[in-house]
Chains A and B, each alone.
Chain A
């Protein structure tokens, strides 16, 4: 009877693992980074379930065997200080598990913080994704177009998102492409993603940013490079240019639908990187981005040799 809930917990875990197969966004990856992360998640769920099962099994065994009502009346529990062997085992086994996970985590960290292995060497598509209350602005500097609240991306090509915010800290997240990263007002963070297959996806701000936070999401569509190029051409032919005045209007707090512009806001409202970074004091030299890549241009103030 008392073991019921223990069984319940175990059952629940099993059900949890089984349900998680196809529909759940994070476990249904559409890109290499999300795939890496889903692998880590499955691996850790697997090993961790074993630990939970072992603990539950010992607990059930102890409760069944040493419950007061089942023991002879004169049974008096012994005084046991501890046992070297047992205590060594319960130290060594967790250390081994943690050591294994440490190796996994170091490898996967470096994977998700770099251009995906499969697409190395390709020219990445750079998108400046900035948030304002409560919208997302996507600037494609090479294509010289900008969208609001929707994102079109080519498949089979590395994507480099440069993230920053025009307000509170937000977090750029497309679960099926990969994990999130913060967008902040005084520096640019870089998120490396890629899409393996065409399709529609949900993207959102995952970090609470005030009243309009719940609706602060955006639509993502991955398409072939050809379709993507067609779309860019079409935008250039049909969309209005983005003026500074228009952009200031867009920044005002509120929600907007999906908008498209030619040109980006970057020329008149540059991203907080390099000399525009919030903490650029002129002498520290170029800031390393999240990769540690020193890819920014050395700017004019950089005269010190340190």
Chain B
């Protein structure tokens, strides 16, 4: 038994045992279900080996929704624990594990894949391309993210979850103060997912720069494509820093190096710096695509072109640049001089300027428009005031003298949820409702969607506004309990009620999907919203090759012009289309990564070495493989197009 004792959760509770059983039962049911319905081949051919950006996008979205559920349950547990003073629902260690995994999952395994999924689905369609530049690499990216997420979630039932916060500051995260394997999971699973993200960045940068339809100059690109482009640039510059920081952290934990230790010349502040040199740009990696999505939805439902296109683009480029100059504001209190703090205060506040420009541009886009209150639009409309509040509290936090009072408090927690939820979560929820018909061929139920929206918005306000107050009253973040005489009790109860409303909203969203699958009219409309950009010029469901003929672009809104100004979008005749072949290697390689990661977490070197060799074999296989893709013949294209009622001209 000695060998297996390493897998025991160091601090078990009924909840963990229940989860073990639940996970075992779910896995069994999934396997049994797939076998019973004979879906293994469908799953392997249709999804696991796919290199199609649309399918990969959808897989990202499904994973993100699952992770939203996991992270949301974590959030509910925290709120339940904090609802009343001196609560004994969770003990300190559990609370610490719960907030650590909540943070990591929500940022890295929910928000990131959600954004990546939408990028995957939308960007190639939006630029009139047939796939991304490196389809196989795209599959590798997805599977690496997926395996990273699975490895991270495994920590809950095998070996114990990380407990040093999502920022995992050393020396707290070092072996001395966090001896169980939780932080190993953190280092290694984020590393694996992070490599995937870095590849996505390179892939989409290349795609956007090299594969746009003829006539689509940089300054004619749709806003979401611009947002994705700037995001990719941030990813490419920021993620290598994370890679190295995690590598150093892993070395410290597994091989007793001294990068971040408090003895022998290690430097704990170095981790904080490296983490936030990645961590702050990471926030913009999330928010810029969200801005892009709002910039798609608002013009469509205002029936107007985006106001101030040039300034929108310029502000995104500026934000991506400034995002690298502000990391020190995460630790104004680490003892820098007033001079250093002043510089970083000012750079931080400067970011508010381009962001403010965008807010006003969205408002002016609606001005003189024709506003329809659909579900995606409602998310945008709630985003504007709520994100403004989040943004201005950000400026308040940026003033370092005052930050000494906000730092590490619930005020800060309120602030970043106030930008991430109305910013990122509203964007992805709105965008998934918006793009749903393109993905699945039917519109989601509007009534349930609106109900879910109201629960989410009201729940959000109730959950997070009270935290501004308790934060200023001295409630530090990450405290698993507080005493009655602090007076935090009533406010925390309000916040918990808000969290419950948000949970109801999530349930309603799931119900909306279920209800719509059963009841919605499957009309397969290609353009249900009367939208403006090229992704809507495709058929629904989108054929494998996206566009039978590559569209001709002559303005910023080529599809709109084609519909209303007689612009000929598809010129010429069908030609045979070159497409990449499916491959199981990306999946296999990610499995090897998983084995490598699991081996490293538990210092099981044989497993780790086998995993690593497997990874290299997969790479070698790719290097020597002769795969030149395949062609879709003109006849086949004609047949498919006829089925959809012909190519619109």
A13-B389, A19-B469, A82-B308 given; A98·B333 CB < 8 A: no
Which of B202-210, B242-250, B288-296, B392-400 lines the interface with chain A? B392-400
Which of B116-124, B192-200, B342-350 lines the interface with chain A? B342-350
Q: Mark B380-414, 1 if CB is under 8 A from A, else 0.
A: 01101110110011011011111111011100000
A169 in contact with B404 (CB, 8 Å):
no
A101 in contact with B356 (CB, 8 Å):
no
Q: Is the interface of A mostly helix, strand, loop or mixed?
A: mixed
The answer, among B304, B308, B363, B389, for a CB contact under 8 Å with A52, is: B389
Q: Is A187 an interface residue (CB 8 A)?
A: yes
Min CB gap A190→B, angstroms: 8
B349 in contact with A102 (CB, 8 Å):
yes
Min CB gap B452→A, angstroms: 15
Q: Determine the distance from Cα of A51 to Cα of B391 in the docked complex, in whole angstroms.
A: 10
Residues of B within 8 A of A186 (CB): 262, 266-268
Q: Determine the distance from Cα of A202 to Cα of B93 in the docked complex, in whole angstroms.
A: 24
A23-B473, A108-B402, A171-B333 given; A180·B363 CB < 8 A: no
Q: Is B472 an interface residue (CB 8 A)?
A: yes
The answer, among B177, B356, B366, for a CB contact under 8 Å with A63, is: B366
Residues of A within 8 A of B480 (CB): 213-214
A290 in contact with B336 (CB, 8 Å):
yes
Q: Is B367 an interface residue (CB 8 A)?
A: yes
A104-B399, A214-B481 given; A91·B302 CB < 8 A: no
B96 in contact with A94 (CB, 8 Å):
no
Min CB gap B310→A, angstroms: 7
A16-B468, A37-B401, A169-B169 given; A214·B473 CB < 8 A: no
A169 in contact with B172 (CB, 8 Å):
yes
Which of A121-129, A137-145, A203-211, A294-302 lines the interface with chain B? A203-211
A23-52 CB contacts (< 8 Å) to partner B: 23-27, 34, 36-37, 40-41, 44-45, 48, 51-52
Residues of B within 8 A of A112 (CB): 338, 401, 404
Q: Is A291 an interface residue (CB 8 A)?
A: yes
A189 in contact with B473 (CB, 8 Å):
no
Q: Mark B440-470, 1 if CB is under 8 A from A, else 0.
A: 0000000000000000011001000100110
Q: Is A150 an interface residue (CB 8 A)?
A: no
A9-B389, A102-B349 given; A185·B262 CB < 8 A: yes
B342 in contact with A62 (CB, 8 Å):
no
A90-B360, A171-B407 given; A213·B402 CB < 8 A: no
Q: Is A259 an interface residue (CB 8 A)?
A: no
Residues of A within 8 A of B399 (CB): 40, 44, 101, 104-105, 108
Q: Is B269 an interface residue (CB 8 A)?
A: yes
Q: Is B28 an interface residue (CB 8 A)?
A: no
Min CB gap A251→B, angstroms: 13
Closest B residue to A113 by beta carbon equals: B338
Q: Is the interface of B mostly helix, strand, loop or mixed?
A: helix
A48 in contact with B395 (CB, 8 Å):
yes
B96 in contact with A209 (CB, 8 Å):
no
Residues of B within 8 A of A20 (CB): 469, 472
Q: Determine the distance from Cα of A171 to Cα of B405 in the docked complex, in whole angstroms.
A: 11
The answer, among A19, A67, A82, A202, for a CB contact under 8 Å with B307, is: A82
Q: Is A250 an interface residue (CB 8 A)?
A: no
A16 in contact with B469 (CB, 8 Å):
yes
Q: Mark B399-431, 1 if CB is under 8 A from A, else 0.
A: 111111101110000000000000000000000
Closest B residue to A108 by beta carbon equals: B401
Q: Mark A270-283, 1 if CB is under 8 A from B, else 0.
A: 00000000110000
A179 in contact with B333 (CB, 8 Å):
yes
The answer, among A56, A94, A208, A278, for a CB contact under 8 Å with B172, is: A208
Which of B370-378, B500-508, B619-627 lines the interface with chain A? B370-378
A179 in contact with B405 (CB, 8 Å):
yes
Q: Determine the distance from Cα of A59 to Cα of B403 in the docked complex, in whole angstroms.
A: 30
Q: Determine the distance from Cα of A77 to Cα of B371 in the docked complex, in whole angstroms.
A: 10
The answer, among A26, A82, A111, A210, for a CB contact under 8 Å with B405, is: A26
Q: Is B311 an interface residue (CB 8 A)?
A: yes
Residues of B within 8 A of A5 (CB): 382, 457-458
A6 in contact with B408 (CB, 8 Å):
no
Q: Determine the distance from Cα of A290 to Cα of B353 in the docked complex, in whole angstroms.
A: 30
The answer, among A63, A102, A180, A184, for a CB contact under 8 Å with B404, is: A180
A182 in contact with B363 (CB, 8 Å):
no
24 intermolecular pairs with C-beta atoms under 8 Å apart:
A19-B469, A26-B472, A52-B392, A66-B367, A68-B370, A77-B302, A77-B368, A81-B309, A82-B310, A90-B357, A98-B350, A102-B346, A108-B401, A110-B338, A167-B262, A168-B169, A168-B171, A179-B401, A186-B268, A207-B169, A208-B478, A214-B479, A279-B265, A292-B339
Extra inter-chain contacts (12) besides given A101-B399, A175-B473, CB under 8 Å: A6-B385, A104-B399, A105-B342, A106-B345, A109-B338, A111-B401, A175-B405, A179-B405, A179-B407, A181-B335, A279-B267, A288-B337
